[in-house]
Structure 1
Amino acid sequence: MGRRHQHEEHANHEAWAIPYGDLVTLLLAFFVVMYAMSSVNEGKYRILSDSLVAAFRGSPRTLQPIQVGEKSVGSGADINMTIVQQAMLNGQPRSMLEPSPLQVADQSQGARHAADNAYEAEHSSSAVAELESVAAEVEQAMGELIRDQMIVVRRHGLWVEVEIRTDILFPSGIAKLSEEAQNILKQLALTLKPFPNAIRVEGHTDNRPIKSAAFTSNWELSAARAASVVHLFTDAGMDPHRLAIVGLGEFRPAYPNDTEQNRNLNRRVLLVILSGSGNPEGEYAGDRGQPEVAPPPPPQPQAQPQPAVTTAQTIEPPASPGGR
């Protein structure tokens, strides 16, 4: 049997075309994707551009798309900036490059606030120093009574309290100053007179009710005692504009009203010496007492023209010659 001759396979010289075609297809897909990513959606860009321009520059000035590539010569060509910034400034007036007035206003406002804070700090420190001198003068003038704990001086930063117990001021249930109290308060008034500080005079009582012909409650009693001190101060030459009367009755006790000793301590008069030379009622006091703006008078009704009245003349008949 004859041996079968094996055919020799021919070499495929075009086998490179298949991977080449795959490579070209992949490159085409790659560039299509890159093109799709690089294309600008004008609608989305306008929204983004308007938002950015409105946030940083105010109202939008241009709707031109971003220039891709080298920076073109325009309103911002001579300034070191990015391509996006150059594109946003392209075609805009040179005034857009000037500092924003809002920023200048913010800077000036910040400087003004800093100056105000510095002035307030300096004013507060001077007011505290002035109050310290007032407290020192009172302690020197009332040294004996302070040692006997009949007068207490307390410092509270922007005000000083001078507490006077009513044992040396008023008898029980009475608002008239005793002779000893008048001498003490006159000395205190002469001490406080040279200073411009405003003073609130507060009257306090204990919680025992009172009802008499002169005072129907502790409100009236505390206010009357504070008024007695104020009258003595004005008689001693103090400016009445510096003084104010506050009657607090039994509602600001220093100690619980459960013992006779505590009730005695709660019956007191407080001089609250404020910082500065303002009103003793506080900052709002300057707006009170001002005349209100009178409303315009209503229009007066115009007088209606009166119709002309014709007076009829009465013609009397001639008298008869014969008389009556």
Structure 2
Amino acid sequence: MSSQHGPDRHRWLISYADYMTLLCAFFIMLYSVELLDENQYKAVQEALDGMFTTSSQQLLPQPESATTVLEDNNGMMPLYQTITQQLQVFIDSNELIIEQEGEWVKIRIKADTLFPAGGWEISDEMMDIIEKLAITIRPIPNEINIAGHTDDVPISTESIVSNWDLSALRAVAVVRAFELFGIAPQRMAAMGFSYHQPIFPNNSDEHRLANRRVEILIKQGTINQPWAREENIE
């Protein structure tokens, strides 16, 4: 019984005190780590806040116009806009219609504007339009298709035996005029469609007038070909 009251009976207090000391040190360490992380987070957050508040105009991109977006994507709208702006006077006078159709920019001219009835030679007074078209198109090194269209009224003369001939001859006449004004012939193709691709049903004079046309189709996008010739036309 006397051994229970010896010097060893309070030894467990020493172990308990050591345990509590270690536990306290552990929690102090955790708290220190938490403070360190929080301080680091605040420092990063303050730096980011400063970047986005004081330099927001430099960091955030400005809204782009629809024209810029289209230019970055495929170059379609700038070609259409360039041609439209340069030919606006003829658009306003209803001598030209310019549209986008798939990968092509289409310039539509009424055949009655360019040619005499049943004829395929471009009238002298209309050569100004052809020259302006050529000057506009010439610097653009893209493929050009010229398509002739007629209405469904049959034609048969000594030199033109069908609507196929008339539509093709009118397209060729525009090609030759473009070549005269400096557009490289390698870029161009002439096609005749007769009356088989009408815009409207051929059921009225107004519709037939619209169907008699020449269409100049310019392929959109970048084409690396040595086609565009910069020549001084006298």
For this structure pair, what is the TM-score category when the shorter chain's length is used for normalisation? 0.5 to 0.7
Question: Which residue number in structure 2 is paired with residue 164 of structure 1?
Answer: 109
Overall identity of the aligned pairs, in %: 34
Question: Which residue number in structure 1 is paired with residue 208 of structure 2?
Answer: 263
* SS state at 1:202 partner: strand
Question: Which residue number in structure 1 is paired with residue 92 of structure 2?
Answer: 147
Letter in 1 for 2:109: I
The correspondence for 2:223, drawn from 256, 273, 277, is: 277
**CA contact 2:71–2:78 (8 Å) conserved in 1:** no
1:135 aligns to 2:41 (yes or no):
no
1:220 aligns to 2:165 (yes or no):
yes
Q: Gaps (5+ residues) in structure 2?
A: 1-69, 226-234
Name the CA distance, whole Å, in 1 between partners of 2:145 and 2:129: 18
Give, in angstroms, the shift of residue 126 of structure 1.
5.7
Name the CA distance, whole Å, in 2 between partners of 1:127 and 1:193: 24
**CA contact 2:99–2:106 (8 Å) conserved in 1:** yes
Moved more, 221-230 or 133-142: 133-142
In the comparison of the two structures, how many residue pairs are matched?
155
Letter in 1 for 2:112: D
Name the CA distance, whole Å, in 1 between partners of 2:74 and 2:88: 22
Give, in angstroms, the shift of residue 278 of structure 1.
7.5
After superposition, the Cα gap between the structure-2 partners of 1:191 and 1:125, relative to the gap in structure 1 and judged at 3 Å, is closer
Letter in 2 for 1:199: I
Question: Which residue number in structure 1 is paired with residue 138 of structure 2?
Answer: 193
**Map of 1:6-155 to 2, 5 A cutoff?**
128-129=74-75, 131-155=76-100
* SS state at 2:193 partner: strand
Give the TM-score of the pair, scaled to structure 2. Answer: 0.62
**CA contact 1:127–1:158 (8 Å) conserved in 2:** no
Name the CA distance, whole Å, in 1 between partners of 2:140 and 2:77: 12
**Map of 1:227-238 to 2, 5 A cutoff?**
227-238=172-183
Q: Gaps (5+ residues) in structure 1?
A: 1-123, 280-324
Question: Which residue number in structure 2 is paired with residue 247 of structure 1?
Answer: 192
Letter in 2 for 1:250: Y
Moved over 6 A (4+): none
Name the CA distance, whole Å, in 1 between partners of 2:98 and 2:147: 15
Question: Which residue number in structure 2 is paired with residue 179 of structure 1?
Answer: 124
Name the CA distance, whole Å, in 2 between partners of 1:220 and 1:213: 12
Name the CA distance, whole Å, in 2 between partners of 1:127 and 1:167: 38
Letter in 2 for 1:177: I
**CA contact 1:199–1:243 (8 Å) conserved in 2:** yes
Q: Indicate the structure whose relative CO is greater, using CA pairs within 8 Å and at least 6 residues apart.
A: 2
After superposition, the Cα gap between the structure-2 partners of 1:241 and 1:149, relative to the gap in structure 1 and judged at 3 Å, is same
After superposition, the Cα gap between the structure-2 partners of 1:257 and 1:183, relative to the gap in structure 1 and judged at 3 Å, is same
Name the CA distance, whole Å, in 2 between partners of 1:164 and 1:144: 14
Give, in angstroms, the shift of residue 127 of structure 1.
7.7
Name the CA distance, whole Å, in 2 between partners of 1:188 and 1:168: 14
- In our comparison, the structure showing a higher alpha carbon Rg is 1
Letter in 2 for 1:179: D
Name the CA distance, whole Å, in 2 between partners of 1:136 and 1:260: 32
* 1:76-135 Cα deviation digits (max 9, x unpaired): xxxxxxxxxxxxxxxxxxxxxxxxxxxxxxxxxxxxxxxxxxxxxxxx976831x42222
Name the CA distance, whole Å, in 1 between partners of 2:157 and 2:224: 37
After superposition, the Cα gap between the structure-2 partners of 1:144 and 1:220, relative to the gap in structure 1 and judged at 3 Å, is same
Letter in 2 for 1:277: I
Letter in 1 for 2:223: S
Give the TM-score of the pair, scaled to structure 1. Answer: 0.45
